[in-house]
Structure 1
Amino acid sequence: MPEKTKVVEIVPYDQEWKKEFEKIRNMINSYIGDLILKIEHVGSTSVEGLMAKPIIDIDVVIDSYDLLPNIIERLEKEGYEHEGNLGIQGREAFKRTYDDEFMDYHLYVCPKDGKGYLEHIAFRDYLRKNKKAKKEYGDLKYRLAKIYRNDVDSYCNKKTEFIENILNKTIYKDAKN
């Protein structure tokens, strides 16, 4: 069941994360598959070999926000609560209202051209292709988790510069010129 992290715990990569994502993806697809374009595994658990908080991040990609009311309605019938964008434009968060058999996960619905989705994919794909950056990010996360074990907001904020540097090398590289 997705919930706000109280303690920052970074663990070694686990092959089971792929299988867990597939199970969750299949479940979500059975609820709203006819309304969406795809379901993407994003975040650190989607990068093989990267240490991560053991929480699956999932982006459900839609063509446009016109579909959101139907998605909200269907997901609510299946036990999800729509939480809005939680301060991040271009993504809508949902949380499960009861425990299910899956590991913890965060579920987001994003338009295909939304900033949140495009950044997730650019960052994930860069780390998948760049071993040095993946190691640097893993080391940073591990250090920050030790320092900010009980302060998830500071943990996240301290990763921002690293993430922005990667995004500036990928989807925002042309904006610098």
Structure 2
Amino acid sequence: MSLEELWRLFPIILREHSDDYARWYEEEKEKLTKLLADFEIQRMNHIGSTSVEGLIAKPIVDILLELPDGYELNRVSELLQKSGWLLMMSDEKKQTLDLNKGYTPAGFAEKVYHLHIKVLGDWDELYFKDYLCKYSEAARQYEELKLSLKARYEHNRDAYTDAKTDFVRKYSQKARQEFGPRYSVK
């Protein structure tokens, strides 16, 4: 399947916030905690727009799972894939994995997840979420941006994501300035 065909099958969809997202996250967190019990999970968070109450979002629950430096990346990847996750990206040098679940040959399943695995760290995703949760005006601006980008890039996920980058960086930096080193690793 070509990239264009994939984007047609899995377009950018934006929906009103649903309370189901928090429940879906908790369900998946419990499964991941059991599956990866041997790996000393350092921290797990619901991130992305579905984690911000009231914000429109792609109906995809993003999870940031942090493991200790030097974790067995290939073993974690193998366990997750055997459990139904699809590997999107693996970077052994950076010790990152990106996986998804809920993408079917017929399109999106009812529950769709993106799992981002990194070593424990001071990640912008956490700051950005915190900022949007605290400042509803920034969340509204982000919502307006996403709606305008969906109109242009409904079938081009990469362009949609790239076009949000400056906004995300700006508010992640503001969050870091305001919240200080709340996610720093000691």
Is 1:142 aligned with 2:147? yes
Distance in 1, matches of 2:158 and 2:151, equals: 14
Q: Note the alpha carbon deviations across 1:67-105, whole angstroms, 9 max, x for none.
A: 42332232233233444347xx56311234986x86011
CA RMSD of aligned residues (A): 2.7
Whether the 8 Å CA contact 1:24–1:102 is kept in 2: the answer is no
Classify the secondary structure of the residue corresponding to 2:176. coil
Pick closer, same or farther for the CA change 1:170–1:125 going to 2, 3 Å. Answer: same
Is 1:109 aligned with 2:117? yes
Pick closer, same or farther for the CA change 1:74–1:85 going to 2, 3 Å. Answer: closer
Q: Which amino acid aligns with 2:32?
A: I
User: TM-score w.r.t. structure 1 length?
Assistant: 0.81
Distance in 1, matches of 2:37 and 2:160, equals: 34
- Size of the aligned set, in residue pairs, is 166
Structure with more of its chain in strand, by fraction: 2
Distance in 2, matches of 1:155 and 1:70, equals: 32
Classify the secondary structure of the residue corresponding to 2:36. helix
Long gaps (5+) in structure 2:
1-5, 181-186
Of residues 7, 20, 38 in structure 1, which corresponds to 2:11? Answer: 7
Higher RCO structure, 1 or 2 (CA under 8 Å, sep 6+)? 1
Deviation at 1:22, TM superposition (A): 0.9
Distance in 1, matches of 2:103 and 2:11, equals: 21
Whether the 8 Å CA contact 1:60–1:107 is kept in 2: the answer is yes
Identical pairs, percent: 27
